[in-house]
Structure 1
Amino acid sequence: MPLLSRDFDLHTASERLRVTVDLPAEDTLPRVLSLHGAGPSNRARMDYLAAHLARLGWGTVRFDFSGHGDSSGTMSGSSIDKRMQEALAVATELDRTTAPVLIGTSMGGHLAVRLSEDLGPSHLILFCPAAYGTATETITFGPAFTDALRRPGSYHNSLAYSAISHYAGRLTIIIGAEDEIIPGEVIDRYLAAAKRARSVRLERLAGAPHQIHGWAVKTPGAERLVLSIVEDELQR
């Protein structure tokens, strides 16, 4: 099945977001929304997964958050709350006749869970998901944000845990066994809170660091493993 990709700019009130839509065929709409993480991440990290999903018949929309990749803005002018608004703007590209699939990586995992309350996904697929305390969501990225993250137990009152406690779709968490960023307690709290989920699946990838996608495409057999996990979940 061929991959049809289209890049375009989507303008919000304050930013220009660069968006890529990957489709399996003409006259189809994406059902998957992919949200990348912080740091040097961008929408290109998901090239391999978006291509595979298109071959399976699933269209994907992904974009660079402001301050990343080909979008406008700066990291210091962004926040979790702003990223949520940007994701909701891009979500208007989704097929609205069916429940979407949300894929989130690291910070994007927190965002995907938070957005599940607005978008009602059938599947949440979270790669090394982070969780952020309530107070941090409106703090712009920079020293104050970092200081808030460093406070012991800062993520214990995360709104992501509240959101996932109401989620009734399928939940898949994929984390590297060698992840040096996400505390194990973050994952444990996600799993404990997801009591209403239709199914819960945890995959720990041996040898994988926090940067799962970069590791997957460079490690023999790892890319196929990641793709097979996602494919298996979407076929359920």
Structure 2
Amino acid sequence: MKYPFSVNTGATEDSDETTILEGFIFERSDDPTVLFLHGNQETDSQKDMHLFANILLTKKLSSVTFDFSGFGSSTGDFKNSTLDKRFEEAKDISPFLNPESQLLICATGTNVIPAIKLTEFYNIKTLILFAPNVENQKQDEEENKNYLSTIFEELNIAKHIENFTGNLLIIKGKNDRIADKPVTNLYVNAFSNTYKKELLVIPNAGHNIHKFLKDNTDAFKLMMSKVEKVL
């Protein structure tokens, strides 16, 4: 079953804007143990995750999807959406998750960064990162290499990555020129203390990984064969 919900996040110290986050709970009889964080492109929304959420229901896993402020059906201005704000909004969803269970978090694009920060607040068994990326990459190869060398410290996620001992599955498209090989390797190599770790490269897929998986049954089955090993 799929149930809609709304969360009023209220004003913050940094903003007087009151935001209503719209989401869905994909639930069987148990409280959700899966949280989905959609991508950071303006056209991205929780709908990108609904096929995956429905499949997880068949594995007896209940989940939560929602739109960040400025995305999809949630209120707010896309231009005001920042990684820090999305992190706080992800924490606002916590009442819908089972606090006594180990969680699975699936995140996309640069929103893998708030997902990584959530490891400090939740008992997370598995992180699944789709096309993980960082903002403001440089055009010059050498300049970008230097930029990436310190980016996790600047984002304040280096310690979270070091301390994470659960399962990690990274999924990206072979033809993805946004979340390209250098940044993918950055994430893969940084997680050095995971219980299980795997990189799945989907042939022929670009950066819009969820649309490709939705439209290509064989690729989706390949992904699920890897997901089932870390549930």
What TM-score comes out, normalization by structure 2 length? 0.87
CA distance in 2 between partners of 1:114 and 1:96 (Å):
17
Q: Structure 1 residues 128 and 161 mapped into 2: Cα distance closer, same or farther (>3 Å)? A: farther
Superposed CA offset, 1:163-204 (max 9, x none)? 211101011111111111113222212222211111111111
What amino acid is aligned across from residue 111 of structure 1 in structure 2?
A: P
Q: Which moved more, 1:101-110 or 1:40-49?
A: 101-110
What amino acid is aligned across from residue 40 of structure 2 in structure 1?
A: A
Match of 2:98 in 1: 95
Superposed CA offset, 1:62-121 (max 9, x none)? 100000110000111221100000001112211011111111011222221122122231
1:149 CA displacement: 4.5
CA distance in 2 between partners of 1:120 and 1:183 (Å):
30
Which of 14, 21, 26 aligns to 1:22? It is 26
What amino acid is aligned across from residue 206 of structure 2 in structure 1?
A: P
Contact 1:171 1:197 in 2 (8 A): yes
Question: How many residues are matched?
Answer: 214
CA distance in 2 between partners of 1:91 and 1:129 (Å):
23
Match of 1:51 in 2: 54
Contact 2:132 2:187 in 1 (8 A): no
1:150 CA displacement: 4.1
1:220 CA displacement: 3.9
Q: What 5-or-longer segments of structure 1 have no aligned partner?
A: 133-147
Q: What 5-or-longer segments of structure 2 have no aligned partner?
A: 11-17
Which of 45, 54, 74 aligns to 1:71? It is 74
Q: Does 1:116 align with 2:113?
A: no
Which of 31, 34, 44 aligns to 1:32? It is 34
CA distance in 2 between partners of 1:101 and 1:33 (Å):
6
Match of 1:157 in 2: 151
Matches within 5 A, 1:202-217: 202-217=199-214
CA distance in 2 between partners of 1:218 and 1:119 (Å):
33
CA distance in 2 between partners of 1:160 and 1:176 (Å):
24
What amino acid is aligned across from residue 222 of structure 2 in structure 1?
A: L
Contact 2:34 2:63 in 1 (8 A): yes
CA distance in 1 between partners of 2:129 and 2:194 (Å):
14
Q: CA RMSD in A?
A: 1.6
